[in-house]
A and B are shown apart, each in its own frame.
Chain A
Amino acid sequence: MTRLLHRYIALPGSLLLLLLTLSGAVLSVLPALEVAQSAAMAPGETVADLAAKVQANLPEVQQIKVDAAGNITAYYFAGLSPAAKIIDPATGGVIGDKAATPVKDWLVDLHRSLFLGSGGRITAGVGAAMMVLLALTGIFLMARRMGGWRKFFAPARGPLSARLHVEFSRIALLGLVFSGATGIWITLTVFDVIPAFDPTPVFPDQVSGQIASDISALPALRDIPLTELKALTFPYAGDATDVFTVETTGGMGYVDQGTGEMLSFEAPAGFAQVNALIYALHTGRGLRAWALGLVLGLASLAGALLTVTGVLVWLRGRKSSAPVKGFDRAGRAETIILVGSEGGSTWGFAATLGAALKDAGQSVHIGPMSAFNPARWPQAKRLIVLAATYGNGDAPQSAKGFLEALERHGAKAERLPVAVLGFGDRSYEKFCGFGEEVRAAFERQGWPQLVEMERIDRQSPQAFRRWGRALGAALGLELDLNHVPSHPPTRKLTLISRQDYGLEFQEPTAILRFALPQRTLWEKITGQGWPRFSAGDLLGVVPEGDSVPRFYSLASSSRDGFVEICVKKHAGGLCSGQLHRLAPGDSIDAFIRPNPDFAPQRKGPVVLIGAGTGIGPLAGFIRGNCRRKPMHLYFGVRHPQSDLLYGEALEEWAKGGQLTSHQIAFSRLGEKTYVQDLIRRDAARLVELANAGAQFLVCGGRGMADGVQAALAEALAPVGLTPAQLKAEGRYVEDVY
Chain B
Amino acid sequence: MKMKSTVMALATTATALTPLAAEARQVTFTTQLNVYGGKGAYLAFYVTDAQGKYVGSLWMAGPHAKYYRHLPGWMRATGGNPGEVAGITGASVGPGRTLKINLNLNDALFDKGYKLHIDAAAENFPEIPNDVVVNLTSAGKGKPVAGRGYVKSFTYSY
- Mark A residues whose CB is within 8 Å of B: 62-63, 65, 75-77, 80-82, 84, 100, 105, 109, 117-118, 189-192, 196, 198, 200, 202-203, 231, 233, 236, 241, 245
Q: How far is the CB of A363 from chain B (nearest CB, A)?
A: 63
Neighbouring A residues of B128 by C-beta, 8 Å: 62, 77
* B interface secondary structure, majority: loop
Q: Tell me, in angstroms, the Cα distance from A231 to B91 when the chains sit together.
A: 26
Chain A to chain B contacts (Cβ below 8 Å), 25 pairs: A62-B149, A63-B126, A63-B127, A77-B34, A77-B128, A77-B148, A77-B149, A77-B150, A81-B34, A81-B36, A82-B125, A82-B150, A84-B125, A100-B37, A105-B38, A118-B64, A189-B66, A190-B66, A191-B64, A196-B66, A203-B76, A203-B77, A231-B127, A236-B130, A241-B52
Q: Tell me, in angstroms, the Cα distance from A241 to B75 when the chains sit together.
A: 15
* Chain B interface residue number, banded: 20 to 34
Q: Tell me, in angstroms, the Cα distance from A306 to B27 when the chains sit together.
A: 56
Apart from A192-B64, A202-B79, what 20 extra A-B contacts exist at CB < 8 Å?
A: A62-B128, A63-B126, A63-B127, A75-B125, A76-B126, A77-B128, A80-B152, A81-B34, A81-B36, A100-B37, A118-B63, A189-B66, A190-B66, A192-B66, A198-B66, A198-B69, A203-B79, A231-B127, A233-B127, A236-B130
Neighbouring B residues of A62 by C-beta, 8 Å: 126, 128, 149
Q: Tell me, in angstroms, the Cα distance from A117 to B148 when the chains sit together.
A: 28
B56 within 8 A of A: no
* A interface secondary structure, majority: mixed
Q: Tell me, in angstroms, the Cα distance from A313 to B79 when the chains sit together.
A: 56
Q: Tell me, in angstroms, the Cα distance from A282 to B83 when the chains sit together.
A: 31
Neighbouring B residues of A117 by C-beta, 8 Å: 63, 91
Contact of B34 among A75, A82, A118, A236 (CB under 8 A): A82
The residues in B between 52 and 78 inclusive whose CB is less than 8 angstroms from any CB of A are: 52, 63-66, 69, 72, 75-77
Asked if A245 contacts B72 (CB within 8 A), the reply is yes
Q: Tell me, in angstroms, the Cα distance from A80 to B35 when the chains sit together.
A: 8
B39 within 8 A of A: yes
Q: When A and B form their complex, which 6 residue pairs have the shortest distance between CB atoms, in order from nearest?
A: A75-B126, A63-B126, A203-B76, A82-B36, A77-B149, A196-B66
Residue of B nearest to A190 (CB): B64
Neighbouring B residues of A77 by C-beta, 8 Å: 34, 126, 128, 148-150
B144 within 8 A of A: no
Q: How far is the CB of A236 from chain B (nearest CB, A)?
A: 6
B80 within 8 A of A: yes
Q: Tell me, in angstroms, the Cα distance from A174 to B52 when the chains sit together.
A: 55
Asked if B34 contacts A80 (CB within 8 A), the reply is yes
Residue of A nearest to B65 (CB): A192
The total of Cβ contacts below 8 Å across the A-B interface reads: 63
Asked if B75 contacts A200 (CB within 8 A), the reply is yes
Asked if B129 contacts A105 (CB within 8 A), the reply is no
Residue of B nearest to A77 (CB): B149
Neighbouring B residues of A198 by C-beta, 8 Å: 66, 69
Q: Tell me, in angstroms, the Cα distance from A75 to B128 when the chains sit together.
A: 10
Neighbouring B residues of A109 by C-beta, 8 Å: 39
Neighbouring A residues of B36 by C-beta, 8 Å: 81-82
Given contacts A82-B149, A117-B91, are A200 and B64 in contact (CB under 8 A)?
no
Q: How far is the CB of B144 from chain A (nearest CB, A)?
A: 13
Q: How far is the CB of B76 from chain A (nearest CB, A)?
A: 4
Q: Tell me, in angstroms, the Cα distance from A491 to B150 when the chains sit together.
A: 64
Neighbouring B residues of A191 by C-beta, 8 Å: 64
Q: How far is the CB of B85 from chain A (nearest CB, A)?
A: 14
Q: Tell me, in angstroms, the Cα distance from A65 to B123 when the chains sit together.
A: 12
Q: Tell me, in angstroms, the Cα distance from A65 to B126 when the chains sit together.
A: 8
Residue of B nearest to A189 (CB): B66
With most chain B CB atoms within 10 A of its CB, the pick from A80, A82, A203, A245 is A82
Contact with A along B76-99 (1 / 0, CB 8 A): 110110000000000100000000
Neighbouring A residues of B39 by C-beta, 8 Å: 105, 109
Neighbouring A residues of B79 by C-beta, 8 Å: 200, 202-203
Neighbouring B residues of A200 by C-beta, 8 Å: 69, 75, 79-80
Q: How far is the CB of B2 from chain A (nearest CB, A)?
A: 14
Neighbouring B residues of A100 by C-beta, 8 Å: 37
Q: Tell me, in angstroms, the Cα distance from A241 to B133 when the chains sit together.
A: 15
The residues in B between 11 and 66 inclusive whose CB is less than 8 angstroms from any CB of A are: 34, 36-39, 52, 63-66
Residue of B nearest to A231 (CB): B127
Q: Tell me, in angstroms, the Cα distance from A508 to B84 when the chains sit together.
A: 97
Neighbouring A residues of B127 by C-beta, 8 Å: 63, 231, 233
Q: How far is the CB of B17 from chain A (nearest CB, A)?
A: 22
Q: Tell me, in angstroms, the Cα distance from A233 to B52 when the chains sit together.
A: 21
Q: Tell me, in angstroms, the Cα distance from A236 to B125 when the chains sit together.
A: 17
Neighbouring A residues of B37 by C-beta, 8 Å: 82, 100
The residues in B between 106 and 158 inclusive whose CB is less than 8 angstroms from any CB of A are: 125-130, 148-150, 152
Residue of B nearest to A61 (CB): B126
Q: Tell me, in angstroms, the Cα distance from A245 to B130 when the chains sit together.
A: 14
Q: Tell me, in angstroms, the Cα distance from A126 to B128 when the chains sit together.
A: 34
